[in-house]
Structure 1
Amino acid sequence: MAVLQKLLLSKLIKSVSIALSLLLFPVTGVQTAAVAADRIYATYGALESSIEIDNLVEFAKTGEIEGELITYTRRLNPTQLARLKRLLTAQINLSSVAISQFLYSPIGETLLQRLGQIIETEAGQPGFYAIRAAVILAAAKEPQGFTLLDVLREFPTNGIRVDLVQSLEMVEELQALIERTNQAIALIQKESTTAAINQQPANFSQLPDLRQTGIFSWNKRTLKLYDRSRNRAFVTDVYIPQASGAASQGELYLAPVIVISHGLGSDRNTFKYLAQQLASYGFVVAVPSHPNSNAEQLRSLLNGRTKTVTPPSEFINRPLDVSYLLDVLAQLDRTDTSFALNLQQVGVVGHSFGGYTALALAGASLNFDQLQQDCKNLNNTFNLSRLLQCRTLELPHTQYNLQDKRIKAAIAINPITSSVFGRDGLSQIQIPVTIVSSSADKVAPALPEQILPFTWLTAKNKYLLLFAGGTHFSAADKSDPDTEPLPIPESVIGPEPALARRYLRAWSVAFFETYIAGSQQYRPYLSADYAQAISQPPLSLSLVQSLPANQLAQLIE
């Protein structure tokens, strides 16, 4: 029984903590609960044990361990006890309106359904409604920030019952995914190291440092676009390098073009640093703000003006935004510049949902057969991105042609791919492509969303860039509070995000100089040798151009 008690404390608290971490986003008219939970029960078949919530409160406040909590914590070491205390007292700064808006959205309700199978009411009923009420009430009563303890105390029944069997199954599934991911990461690092040893060494200390700014100055121009065919208005920032070199001698400079697509709930400032870096190397960089999936959309959700994180139509509209933008750029009056735009050799970069956008433009096709197979039981997935991907099934099941032939190279950072494209969809890409993955990505997990999909690519020139220790937000610049609807904790961003951004600056310049500008002198940078040369702890960098399919298949199995 002692083993079960230990599992109750560590796994139950982890389950409830996972609940909050997944549901920390958005009924007006919140009412006070008639009762509040005072005890947590754990059931394991016919066995049952419990602890008082007041014991957890006292432990969180003073560190004192009393009552039944003594038995539960006996096997925990000081590090685990400290982590438990942090979980209980970590503040969540979201309003009750913001919380409720998310929990009433389709994605929020899917998460609640799964959690409700594990965390039940005192009578053993699914906890779907009770969990939602507890989180909203906690947010309403603690407008300056609520904690996990506040949620436990607002649970609208006298007791909280946890199905330990299902909880352990969930934790075991999660641990198995983590273990398989760690093995895949180790395989990539081994392959990258081997490739670096076998490659002709280059003296990068004698070559330009691509992490530094290039020789071009630039100006930013903001365009307000309106696509009448879709009744869709959006804003785009265009970074225009100032002519130098050949242009100063009266020759026409044919400027290569890059488009950057932001992620869900983000905006055109998130990758401003990358746009400026590429502009300093002579690229014209266009960064559109995708309506209905940008920061304004998330603000609307949290403020109660909309009921969805993003409509399914965004899977179609986002790539079409980029194609329309390229059409507009082709029509712009260039009389005030000394260069023309090369719109037949365009590169695209995208992050997360923007990574999907980049791959769709590159030629990946929607895969409704894969979606129908993967979306049958979303209650059994730890892949949060799949909840978004499965919304694609709400679209008419027809053949969508989202590829833009002007796109000649693509970089997808932490993309969502596994279900919306699958093997059949990704194998359609034939242009040079880079997939950037982060080992600690909790939104679009590395193994199912980037590492395995990388092996499905059939393009001749393909690269997998791995940030070991990186998260879903490592490469995104979240430092400007005025451009983000929600503050993102440092623990979610991960270690040394500035280092991830430096990696991406260097890689993007080398990749697009090689495949868009046609400057072959940058090709040595596209190597495991270079990745090793610039890699720094605590965010190590690895690069592979292929993976042994048999080893990866065995790992997945």
Structure 2
Amino acid sequence: MSFSVSRNITYREKKQHKWQNTIVGALIGVVSTFVSATPGNAAERIAFYYPPFGEFTISTLDIETYAESGRVTRDFAFYLNRVPSSQRAQFRQLLRTYFNLDATLVSQVTYSALGESVVRRLSELIMTESRQGSFYALRSALILSATNPKGLNIVEVIRRYPSSTIRLNLTEGQSILTNFSELIRRRDRVVGGLKEVATAEASNQTTDFSQQQDLQVPGSLGYKVVSWEMNDVARSRAFPVDLYLPQNNNNRSGGASTSVKPPFPLIVISHGVAEDRETFAYAAQHLASYGFAVAVLEHPGSDAKKIQQYFEGLASPPEARELINRPLDIKFLLDQLQRLNKSGSNFVGQLNVQEVGVIGHSYGGYTALTLAGATIDVNSVNKQCNPNNSLNLSVLLQCRANELLQGKTPIPSFQDTRVKAVMALNPFGSVILNQKGFSKIQVPIMFMGGSQDVITPAVPEQVIPFTWVASQNKYLALIENGTHFSTSEKLNASKPVLPVPRELIGPNPAIAQMYVKAFSVAFFQTHLVNQQQYSPYLSAAYAQYISKAPLNVDLVRSLTSEQLEKIFENN
């Protein structure tokens, strides 16, 4: 460990070491930030400048020793002993963790437009000895470190970084940490504020749900699945579809009595990136048992198969044009179902293709929003993506619209008048749609988000947009401790496409999936079929009734931008 200016020691002694915790906290915070995104440190030493005290260095060998054996050298103890023991344990665990990422996967991701954006952003914080951010140095370290058979590891990234010294841009790092901390504070205020709003709404409701149908259990109908391949020749785009059709089943022991005859109201489910028809099959089966026909498609440019091939080096990365193709997939699907419903199929006359609901998750949530009338806000994309300095990970994907604009790609209208209601799970749109785009949604809409979603954060992507929507029938459900993947099923398969850590999946996703089942039945029965006896379920009182720890849920129907601003201002 070295100090470049001797007077710093004297100043430190006068201040009785009070500033040491600040330095160490900032350093560990910056390192932890790098680790949680795309790990990266140094080769032989880590250097950082902390004004007004001067420059400090840490030997990477000291870090390796600590990671491997837990032994703390005298020099490293200067930093580590000023960190709370709980954080010390977490830091060592991070150093010892091997991420299930191989070199091919890391190479493919970091060579993609989205991955390159992430690495370039990190290279502004992690610099070479000459104090220059090097995108290529960091990318090579990441790729080479992933050649370890155990996977990518932070210490291995340190060893592979092609510079004897790596300098941390502590000023920029602290700025990011400060902004990130403010985002966390705003999120926590919103969680508490929405709970207060929901409690107030629930106090005016008197329904005894213990005496009502339990929408969390299947209805009384069975279902059959019809599968086929759609082929949009004009766009050279083929994709599979599963259609769940309700079937009378007198022997079924359902929890709720359902009596529905064709034509069945139609719901389309649009999955997120690296998902497929199986991800929300549970929702399709549940809705079919209540008399809905449900079409579940796969978007070939961003589904599990595409991402798997991309990770294996067998396909190009998802294109920016997927922002256009996804809504067009569903419009084409509806056109084909409308044709098949008239003749040439074994379900003629069974579908009501003029009264359609859409459920979308993540990228599928964006897809659902555009079909409901939301439009791409060109000015917002130009302003917020040039450059993109957001800590919101979904903005990286949203800013790919910039590629379309720069390439002068025509952006058609996505709104489909057949779509009468949408349910958006963890959607994004704060930049690409913005207030101008969201304000054009007039159909009934339900947002559902999770307080711990780090991919499409609830506050900017669901809560604030909720206040922008003009529809008179809108609902916002927020799952406390819910993550981006809480509502997605089968993410724990033996060979998942995305190596999603259990921490990102979150606790007991079956609870969140039960919320999707209950709210989707109530929402579409009310707003597609006009069965108003289901409207009491779309309430704060019902959300409280079915709420279950650790994923408690709150639902509100009214929240203005003024109310939200007051929530942000509360200490």
Q: Give the alignment's TM-score, normalised by structure 2.
A: 0.90
- Tell me the residue number matched to 2:231: 226
Equivalent pairs, count: 538
- Tell me the residue number matched to 2:272: 263
2:531 to 506, 516, 519: 519
Matched, 1:147 2:153: yes
For 2:146, what is the secondary structure of its paired residue?
A: helix
- Tell me the residue number matched to 1:66: 73
1:394 to 389, 403, 410: 403
Q: Deviations over 1:197-231 (max 9, x none)?
A: 122x1111111111111111111121101012212
CA distance in 2, matches of 1:543, 1:259: 23
Matched, 1:351 2:361: yes
- Tell me the residue number matched to 1:112: 119
Contact kept, 8 Å, 1:23 with 1:99, in 2: the verdict is no
- Tell me the residue number matched to 1:19: 34
Matched, 1:210 2:215: yes
- Tell me the residue number matched to 1:473: 485
Deviation at residue 257 of structure 1 after TM alignment: 0.8
CA distance in 1, matches of 2:485, 2:260: 42
- Tell me the residue number matched to 2:446: 434
- Tell me the residue number matched to 2:56: 49
- Tell me the residue number matched to 2:351: 341
Matched, 1:311 2:319: yes
- Tell me the residue number matched to 2:189: 183
Deviation at residue 75 of structure 1 after TM alignment: 2.3
Instruction: Write the mapping of 1:404-553 to structure 2, written as runs, cut at 5 A.
Output: 404-479=416-491, 481=493, 484-553=496-565
User: Cα distance 1:483–1:366, how it changes in 2: closer, same or farther (>3 A)?
Assistant: farther
CA distance in 2, matches of 1:126, 1:377: 17
- 2:329 partner letter: D
Contact kept, 8 Å, 1:8 with 1:164, in 2: the verdict is no
**How much is the aligned-residue C-alpha RMSD, in angstroms?**
2.1
Matched, 1:373 2:383: yes
Deviation at residue 8 of structure 1 after TM alignment: 4.9
User: Cα distance 1:480–1:269, how it changes in 2: closer, same or farther (>3 A)?
Assistant: farther
Deviation at residue 318 of structure 1 after TM alignment: 0.7
CA distance in 2, matches of 1:240, 1:120: 58
User: Cα distance 1:339–1:443, how it changes in 2: closer, same or farther (>3 A)?
Assistant: same
- 1:188 partner letter: L
Deviation at residue 555 of structure 1 after TM alignment: 5.5
Deviation at residue 449 of structure 1 after TM alignment: 1.0
- 1:355 partner letter: G
CA distance in 2, matches of 1:163, 1:441: 27
Contact kept, 8 Å, 1:295 with 1:483, in 2: the verdict is no
For 1:198, what is the secondary structure of its paired residue?
A: coil
Contact kept, 8 Å, 1:122 with 1:158, in 2: the verdict is yes
Deviation at residue 479 of structure 1 after TM alignment: 3.5
For 1:444, what is the secondary structure of its paired residue?
A: coil
Matched, 1:129 2:136: yes
- 1:409 partner letter: A
Instruction: Write the mapping of 1:286-325 to structure 2, written as runs, cut at 5 A.
Output: 286-308=295-317, 310-325=318-333
Identity level (%): 41
User: Cα distance 1:224–1:397, how it changes in 2: closer, same or farther (>3 A)?
Assistant: closer
Contact kept, 8 Å, 2:474 with 2:557, in 1: the verdict is yes
- 2:368 partner letter: A
Deviation at residue 252 of structure 1 after TM alignment: 5.1
- Tell me the residue number matched to 1:330: 338
Deviation at residue 311 of structure 1 after TM alignment: 1.1
CA distance in 1, matches of 2:260, 2:564: 51
Q: Deviations over 1:20-53 (max 9, x none)?
A: 54348xxxxxxxxxxx812211212461112222
Q: Deviations over 1:446-505 (max 9, x none)?
A: 111111111000101000110111111111113452673123111011112111101111
2:101 to 86, 89, 94: 94
For 2:430, what is the secondary structure of its paired residue?
A: coil
Q: Relative contact order (alpha carbons < 8 A, sep ≥ 6): 1 or 2 greater? A: 1
- Tell me the residue number matched to 2:173: 167
Q: Deviations over 1:503-534 (max 9, x none)?
A: 11100011011111221111110000000011
CA distance in 1, matches of 2:534, 2:509: 25
Deviation at residue 15 of structure 1 after TM alignment: 3.3
User: Cα distance 1:68–1:160, how it changes in 2: closer, same or farther (>3 A)?
Assistant: same
CA distance in 2, matches of 1:338, 1:210: 29
CA distance in 2, matches of 1:311, 1:397: 13
Contact kept, 8 Å, 1:356 with 1:415, in 2: the verdict is yes
CA distance in 1, matches of 2:378, 2:235: 23
Q: Deviations over 1:222-265 (max 9, x none)?
A: 110101221211111111111358xxxx9952211110000012
For 2:364, what is the secondary structure of its paired residue?
A: helix
CA distance in 2, matches of 1:301, 1:10: 38
Listed as ranges, the gaps of 5+ residues in structure 1 are 25-35
- Tell me the residue number matched to 1:40: 46
For 1:253, what is the secondary structure of its paired residue?
A: coil
Contact kept, 8 Å, 2:377 with 2:433, in 1: the verdict is yes
CA distance in 2, matches of 1:233, 1:244: 34
Q: Give the alignment's TM-score, normalised by structure 1.
A: 0.92
Contact kept, 8 Å, 2:376 with 2:437, in 1: the verdict is yes
Deviation at residue 13 of structure 1 after TM alignment: 4.2
For 2:367, what is the secondary structure of its paired residue?
A: helix
For 2:549, what is the secondary structure of its paired residue?
A: coil
CA distance in 1, matches of 2:505, 2:326: 25
CA distance in 1, matches of 2:23, 2:195: 36
- 2:294 partner letter: V
